[in-house]
A = this chain, B = another copy of it.
Amino acid sequence: MKSVNVAIVGATGAVGVQMLETLEKRNFPIDNLYLMASSRSAGKTIMFKGKEYIIECLSETSFKDKNIDIALFSAGASSSKEFAKYAVESGAVVIDNSSAFRNDDDVPLIVPEVNAHAIKNHKGIIANPNCSTIQMVVALNPIHKKFGIKRVIVSTYQAASGAGLTAMEECEQQMRQLLDGKTVTVEKFAHQLAFNLIPQIDVFMDNGYTKEEMKMVTETKKIMEDNNIEVSATCIRVPVMRAHSEAINIETQKPITAKEAREEWENSEGIIVVDNPENKEYPMPFFCAGKDEVFIGRIRKDISIENGLAFWCVSDQILKGAALNAIQIAEEIIK
């Protein structure tokens, strides 16, 4: 792989920090590295591979005359909408972690294990899917290829850090306040999350689903390039720090057994099957946090339908659900 110039926009956020760690861990071939963030974080310094970097304030001219090859955006949809175009104009390929461009027809929405081939269609911007969608399509894809998926019903158990580092800290603070019998502070989430569940992630749409739930519908169809896959999602925030979990029921066109599904997953890239009920072994978010793969367990034939499967899927949503997936896309680009 050739060495390239890389910019990270939103370098101090949960995903930005993880991108830096992942770039270092995977020894991504970086020539020059530029770190950018909002004015709030500009001027701060961050260490990368033993070298100190000063965070630049993101502006229209941030990308000019720097020959940036790849700009990893993770500073929210409004920042992406405002500034991605300047990165593209400067000649960079933008890999955008926000929802800003995911549904645009000329923006590929990529999970490398599923649709790396679509990267080449980009016109300057490639979108990184929503975290809960990424881990699900990694799990669905090998099954879809062999058995044909007609319908997916998914209920999520999403970690606090999906709402950012400060949200995760708030959940921890709430726990402490509750255990100490103090009044609970609620700022980052709509409601108290400690010892509670919040059945709302993102805003509500007209059809009664939340935007997060509809992302799982539209993004799954786009990434898997099949508009006939029907999806219904219920997205729930749970008091877990890191790693999203999903209970998934699928209906397939062809008959499927738990054993067949397991074999497909065991031979698929980016997936680790943890499914030994007799030893009480199955994926759990506390123990999947900080790991790269999508973990699958509780694999069983769905007894409520002729051709169906039920399973449980856990993955670190800051890694495979965001930072790692973006960098895997970057790796595909410089191949």
Please classify the interface of chain A as helix (H, G, I), strand (E, B), loop, or mixed, using the class held by over half of its residues. mixed
Would you give the shortest CB distance from A226 to chain B, in whole angstroms? Answer: 14
Q: Quick check: B302 and A232 within 8 Å, CB to CB?
A: yes
Name the contact of A208 in the complex, choosing from B198, B249, B280, B298 (C-beta under 8 A). Answer: B298
Q: Which residues of B contact A283 (CB under 8 A)?
A: 199
Besides A175-B175, A199-B282, A199-B298, 15 new A-B residue pairs in contact (Cβ under 8 A), listed by A number = A155-B155, A155-B247, A195-B286, A196-B287, A197-B238, A199-B245, A199-B284, A199-B312, A207-B300, A208-B301, A209-B303, A232-B305, A234-B312, A236-B245, A238-B238
Q: Quick check: B232 and A308 within 8 Å, CB to CB?
A: yes
Please list 28 pairs of residues, one from A and one from B, whose beta carbons are closer than 8 Å in the complex, sorted by A's number: A153-B153, A157-B157, A157-B236, A172-B179, A175-B179, A191-B284, A195-B240, A195-B241, A195-B286, A196-B240, A196-B286, A196-B287, A197-B240, A197-B245, A197-B285, A199-B245, A199-B247, A199-B283, A200-B277, A200-B280, A200-B282, A208-B300, A230-B303, A231-B304, A232-B303, A234-B298, A234-B312, A236-B312
Judge whether A6 is part of the interface by a CB distance below 8 angstroms.
no
Would you give the shortest CB distance from A48 to chain B, in whole angstroms? Answer: 28
Docked pose: A302 CA to B234 CA in angstroms:
10
Q: Identify which of residues 128-151 in chain A touch chain B, using a CB-to-CB cut-off of 8 Å.
A: 151
Q: Quick check: B196 and A280 within 8 Å, CB to CB?
A: no
Judge whether A152 is part of the interface by a CB distance below 8 angstroms.
yes
Q: Which residues of B contact A308 (CB under 8 A)?
A: 232
**With contacts A179-B179, A195-B240, A284-B196 known, is A153 near B249, CB below 8 A?**
yes
Q: Quick check: A151 and B305 within 8 Å, CB to CB?
A: yes
Q: Identify which of residues 167-204 in chain A touch chain B, using a CB-to-CB cut-off of 8 Å.
A: 172, 175-176, 179, 190-192, 195-200, 204
Q: Which residues of B contact A305 (CB under 8 A)?
A: 151, 230, 232
